[in-house]
Structure 1
Amino acid sequence: MDHDRALSLHRQSRRRRAPGPRACPADCFTGACRGDGVIAWARLIRLPNLPSPLADIALGALAAGWPADPLPVVFLALASMAIYAAGMVLNDYFDVSEDCLQRPERPLPRGDISRRDAGIAGHLLLGAGLVFATVSGHFLGGDDPTPGRVAMGLIAAVWVYNARAKRTIMGPFVMGACRGLNVLLGSSVAGESGLSAAWLPSAACFLYIAGLTWFARNDGGRSQRWQLAASAAVVAVSLGLTAWTLAVRGNWVPVAAVVGLVAFLGQRVSRALRNPQPASVRPAVGRLLLGYIPFDAAWAAGLAGPAGWGILILMPVMVGLRRLMAARLT
């Protein structure tokens, strides 16, 4: 699992103050960088992880009732990927001084892309996400404003997380809000009624990602056992909410999948609780990240039937993109 702030909108926050800009080559701030073109930008947006927000869009759309015309869903998917990519770019934009010391291989510290260009690209991608969501509303009939409104909330959460909240106590919960809002963005394909239909899976995704982000907060050093236990409890609540909701509906196959996911996650998480060192915490974080798409798929299958399992196809797609990137970098 890629721990270079991979899914994420899934980046851990750090308490240490970042060093000043003098730690970086001046060109990376003035815009005079020269880099590796497409590959550098692919690394900046974390291309292998770009399909991951599509799991939320599919879950939201299936929960709200997949429309006969798939075009609005296509535009919502484009909006989600644009906003996700923006979050990845702005993550490096705001953290460039820290990355110069801790992650010098990233495109901005290496001088492959200038900080100025990254900032422009990140904000343009946010704008593109809003445009795609608004266009989706146009295809819903009567220029429904719901997708655009949800996209604005998601954009605000992404920007606030990267610019302000990342290193605060609220950071994990703002990150969770990004994923919860992404599910609602998918459900906005059915307008206002879609938001009501998807609020439970949205809340579960919020809790899962908030707990994951909190769990990973100090994975570079010794974590506090109480923090790991509390964050694992947040993830457990999300899994319990999922299993209970689907069991009430009588959808036992997805419930069994959630139980299997609990076992899959519990092994690594319990090991991290016993030994809160990076060697134990990082594998647990990786497993929690790996479990998120199956978590979405279980919700989708429980709410919309077997079609929901189609979300799992995103996992081999992401693996293929990761291998492609690795081949290009060797």
Structure 2
Amino acid sequence: MSNSRIFAHLQLTRPANVVTAIADIMAGFAIAGMGAYLTGFSNEGGYLADLCWLALSTIGLYAGGVAFNDVFDADLDSVERPERPIPSGRATVKSASIMAFLLLLMGVVAAAQVTVTSAIIALTVAVLAVLYDYWGKHQNFLGPINMGLCRTFNLLLGISVIPELVQEYAFIGLIPLVFVAAITMISRGEVHGKNRKALFGGLAMYILIVASIVTLAFMLGGKPLEVLPFLLLFVYMVFPPLIKAIKKQEPKLIGKAVKAAVISLIILNASLSAAFAGWMYALLVLILLPISLWLARKFAVT
């Protein structure tokens, strides 16, 4: 396979977005009370190995899921986005499908190295991702929820390092669900624009997310002051581009708002991590941000 074809298949996996999925795992790891194993550089109990397996799992799940998205959108992209790998002929539907399936399989197998619960959650993420690619994205109401559930279960995948805590903290998964549902809703104007209702809906959901994290920091994490810097960075990243998009409703500005929100998933996870594991662990999560931004300059985010 030539270098150009390898690069094209790599494009299908949205590398910058994959990094945001790793942040989900790290946040779940913190919620499960495992933050000390990174900030204290201790591998007692083998939890660092578990974190690596879960990170590998989410890489496979996310990359496979978004690759299948381009497989199912091949005909539409040939009209609206002919520069993408499949319609441009740099990748084929067959090669992309094989790669996507193997990545999803890798995700489930890697999760199975941690706990049975992890494997079940990984399989759920894989099914939800393919369901969204094939059906969910065409549904005005259920589609954004479907996409949000992928992130919810991805966060739970991180928590599954301690299986008995998954059910106890499952409600925290509502935060990424609402945020990703908002992004999905906003992104529907990325090609044609003029989606004012969706943009205002996204704004309201963003405000709800900020309020929820503040509440969580006070009620459960007990570290509200450590959360504040990360939450302010989150607000700075997502609100200005969305407000600009609301004012003009231009596809280009909507695309920028979506891109900023996707990358800000890392900051959202850093905020959650700070609430449960403190600022030092949250900084480790935030290190993923410049990596994702660098990749976003080389690969498409949406």
TM-score, normalization by structure 1: 0.80
Instruction: Report the Cα distance in structure 2 between the residues aligned to 1:109 and 1:221, rounded to whole angstroms.
Output: 20
Which portions of structure 1, spanning 4 or more consecutive aligned residues, are displaced by more than 4 angstroms? Answer: 322-326
Is the aligned partner of 1:101 residue 2:79?
Answer: yes
Contact 1:246/1:255, CA 8 A, preserved across alignment = no
Contact 1:133/1:148, CA 8 A, preserved across alignment = yes
Equivalent residue for 2:5?
A: 37
Shift of 1:44: 1.8
Equivalent residue for 1:254?
A: 227
Q: Which runs of 5+ in 2 are unaligned?
A: 38-43
Instruction: Report the Cα distance in structure 2 between the residues aligned to 1:74 and 1:176, rounded to whole angstroms.
Output: 24
Q: Which of the pair is proportionally richer in helix?
A: 2
Q: Quick one: which amino acid aligns to residue 148 of structure 1?
A: A
TM-score, normalization by structure 2: 0.87
Shift of 1:59: 0.4
Which structure 2 residues correspond to residues 104-253 of structure 1 after superposition, within 5 A? 104-137=82-115, 145-169=116-140, 170-191=142-163, 193-248=164-219, 249-253=222-226
Question: Higher Cα Rg: structure 1 or 2?
Answer: 1
Compare 147-156 and 222-231 and name the one that shifted more.
222-231
Instruction: Report the Cα distance in structure 2 between the residues aligned to 1:262 and 1:174, rounded to whole angstroms.
Output: 25
The count of residues paired between Structure 1 and Structure 2 equals 286
Is the aligned partner of 1:53 residue 2:24?
Answer: no
Instruction: Report the Cα distance in structure 1 between the residues aligned to 2:299 and 2:236, rounded to whole angstroms.
Output: 31
Query: Deviations along 1:168-192, whole A, 9 cap, x unmatched?
Result: 121111111111110000110111x
Q: Quick one: which amino acid aligns to residue 209 of structure 1?
A: V
Is the aligned partner of 1:75 residue 2:53?
Answer: yes
SS class of match (1:90) = helix
Shift of 1:149: 1.1
288, 304, 307: which is aligned to 2:261? 288
Cα separation, partners in 2 of 1:279 and 1:37, compared to 1, 3 Å? closer
SS class of match (1:106) = coil
Compare 44-53 and 153-162 and name the one that shifted more.
44-53
Q: Which runs of 5+ in 1 are unaligned?
A: 1-32, 138-144
Contact 1:247/1:255, CA 8 A, preserved across alignment = no
Compare 85-94 and 235-244 and name the one that shifted more.
235-244
Q: Quick one: which amino acid aligns to residue 184 of structure 1?
A: L
- Taking only aligned residues, the RMSD between alpha carbons, in angstroms, comes to 2.2
Equivalent residue for 2:41?
A: none
Compare 177-186 and 304-313 and name the one that shifted more.
304-313
Compare 59-68 and 254-263 and name the one that shifted more.
254-263
Shift of 1:279: 4.2
Cα separation, partners in 2 of 1:230 and 1:321, compared to 1, 3 Å? closer
Instruction: Report the Cα distance in structure 1 between the residues aligned to 2:229 and 2:288, rounded to whole angstroms.
Output: 21
Is the aligned partner of 1:64 residue 2:26?
Answer: no
Instruction: Report the Cα distance in structure 2 between the residues aligned to 1:47 and 1:250, rounded to whole angstroms.
Output: 32
SS class of match (1:100) = helix
SS class of match (2:83) = coil
Shift of 1:319: 3.4
Query: Identity over aligned residues, as a percent?
Result: 26
